[in-house]
A and B are shown apart, each in its own frame.
Chain A
Amino acid sequence: MSQSPQLLEPRLLAAKSGSWRPKPKISNASLRWGLNAAVLVYLVLLYFSVDINWSRVAQGMDRGLAFMGSFLTPDFISRGGEIAIGLRESLTMTFAATVIGILLAIPVGLGAARNIAPTPVYFFCRAIIALSRTFQEIIIAILFVAMFGFGPLAGVVTLAFATIGFMAKLLAEDIEDAQRDPMEAVRATGASWLQWINYAVQPQVMPRLIGLSLYRLDINFRESAVIGIVGAGGIGATLNTSINRYDYDTSAAVLLVIIGIVLMSEYLSGYVRKWTA
């Protein structure tokens, strides 16, 4: 209806005589050509600026094949002790950091929900979230290792810090989406602030909070394998050492352990979510 007959007519006539092409997805012609040109320019720049040492790549192919082959012959035994210690450290870091992170994320999340927090508190909590979310865990780990020294404590603090940003943001969004009526009704009974949170907000956000906590537990485990690289403890250190020694059979074993645990936690969280829903 919005199209004027003059614009429509040529296409109709063409179709009648047997020629028809679908309309372009972007109707504005200059925007369309502009985007195409931009992509082309980018590709050209990419071609000239990316410098890859192909002979080095060719040299590495044997090693690549060796690595892939080692997935068929993973070696859990010869460095079994190191794997076990690394795994134990990763798991303890993961659990401790998730608990601490969630406990701290709850007040931050409450403060970052626009509908229940006063404005200054809101901005303060949002700033914490932005800071925690912008930087990769590994960067934060470097800073905390510099402060606390090598070891799992830096790892726990890193993961807890990252957990705060993740959980608080999602919790705040959840609270902002909560139904208003029950919140007003409980407030109208003369309940105190804590009672109000407990009776009107908590029941609405609890199931999702549990689901997200399990998800974050999973993420924290995966991240714990990374932050070991910069000295923050866990299975990442074991993995890093084995790769640097070109001991791919052990690396494959560690990777398979990580994949197995992630898979297990995915199944578990599926069950728990069904159970709490």
Chain B
Amino acid sequence: MLKLKGLTKRYATGDLALNNIDLEVPSGQVLALIGPSGAGKSTLIRCVNRLVEPTSGTIELDSKDISNARGGRLRQARRQIGMIFQNYALVERLSVMENVLSGRLAYVGFWRSYFRKFPESDIKQAFELLERVGLETMLDKRGDALSGGQKQRVGIARALMQNPKLLLVDEPTASLDPKTSRQIMRLICELCQEQNLATIINIHDVALAQQFVHRVVGLRAGEIVYDGAPDGLSPEILTTIYGEEDWSVDKRDDEEETSKPKEQDVEAALLGGHP
């Protein structure tokens, strides 16, 4: 479904965010992109729908090269790519229904969208999606009247309104509590299965990713350092992705924390300051 070849992004500041990435995602596969902050996860998915312009390399969607598409062709491509954001990115002063319907903008003309005259089928679909994410009674609520989890559900419905073939998900749970995070992840993965979407999810929470996804790609400093099954993530591999850290779950790092202040005390004492 999605094929990236030699994708490279160098920002104007000179930072190399992505270095020669090759990646292929088939339909129906949910792929988690993990890696430390600044590894290029966000840049990668924003390059796919060209919110960020890649420096070189090609992006093939459905075996069509979209890396140089402009104007109408770019919008045509973006229409097939749904995106879900970390901060929900709802238009807060519009109602839930309007936010969901904004997923159809590429299918209707300007004046129809301006006067909110969407086709009957679109409204039906929007209502079904709202039912699916459990928010149908909220359709007239304004975006800023919702809780974080509800906003993310609206964001999901908006992305699916596009009838996408590919779904890009940027840190969907970073601003949510653990329980809501799990619900949102489950919902995204179920919907991807139902609609047979290729999906890339940027995610920080490795444990959460392992629980839901089919495939994990580890990114470090703009390069792929791991590509395989979720349960293949051994402590050694996590170390190559994230750097040195104690990856065992049950061991607490209390000792480290208590020893640190002591060191500082010693230092302070040596410098003649007060402890």
Identify the A interface with B (CB < 8 A): 3, 8, 11-12, 15-23
Contact = CB atoms under 8 A, between A and B. Distances in A.
Contacts of A11: 139-140
Contacts of A16: 124, 127
Contacts of B121: 18
Nearest to B122: A18
Given A19-B123, A20-B139, 20 more contacts: A3-B140, A11-B139, A12-B136, A15-B126, A15-B127, A15-B136, A15-B139, A16-B124, A16-B127, A17-B124, A18-B123, A19-B120, A20-B118, A20-B123, A20-B126, A21-B116, A22-B95, A22-B97, A22-B98, A22-B116
Interface string B92-134: 0001011000000000000000001010110110110000000
B117 to A, nearest CB: 9
Top 3 A-B pairs, shortest CB-CB distance: A18-B120, A18-B124, A15-B127
Nearest to A5: B137
A11 to B, nearest CB: 7
14 contacts: A8-B137, A11-B139, A12-B136, A12-B139, A15-B97, A15-B123, A16-B127, A18-B123, A19-B123, A20-B118, A20-B123, A22-B98, A23-B95, A23-B140
Interface of B: 95, 97-98, 116, 118, 120-121, 123-124, 126-127, 136-137, 139-140
A17 B123 CA distance: 8
Nearest to B127: A15
Contacts of B116: 21-22
A16 B136 CA distance: 9
Contacts, number: 36
Contacts of B140: 3, 11, 23
B97 A20 contact: yes
Interface of A is mostly: loop
B97 to A, nearest CB: 6
A14 to B, nearest CB: 9
B97 A12 contact: no
Contacts of B123: 15, 18-20
Contacts of A20: 97, 118, 123, 126-127, 139
B209 to A, nearest CB: 35
Nearest to A23: B140
Nearest to A18: B120
Contacts of B120: 18-19
B126 to A, nearest CB: 8
A253 B48 CA distance: 54
Given A18-B120, A18-B121, A12 B98 contact: no
A23 B97 CA distance: 10
A20 B97 CA distance: 9
Contacts of B118: 20
Contact of B137 (A12, A18, A21, A22): A12
Contacts of A8: 137
Listed residue (B95, B118, B126, B127) with the most chain A CB atoms within 10 angstroms of its CB: B127
Nearest to B117: A21
Contacts of B127: 15-16, 18, 20
B192 to A, nearest CB: 25
A215 B196 CA distance: 61
A154 to B, nearest CB: 50
Nearest to B101: A20
B266 to A, nearest CB: 39
Contacts of A17: 124
A22 to B, nearest CB: 5
Contacts of B98: 22
Nearest to A22: B116
B121 to A, nearest CB: 7
A17 B124 CA distance: 6
B193 to A, nearest CB: 25
A12 B127 CA distance: 8
Nearest to B139: A15
Nearest to A3: B140
A3 B98 CA distance: 19
Nearest to B94: A22
B248 to A, nearest CB: 46
A8 B136 CA distance: 11
Nearest to B118: A20
Nearest to A13: B127
A18 B121 CA distance: 6
A11 B137 CA distance: 10
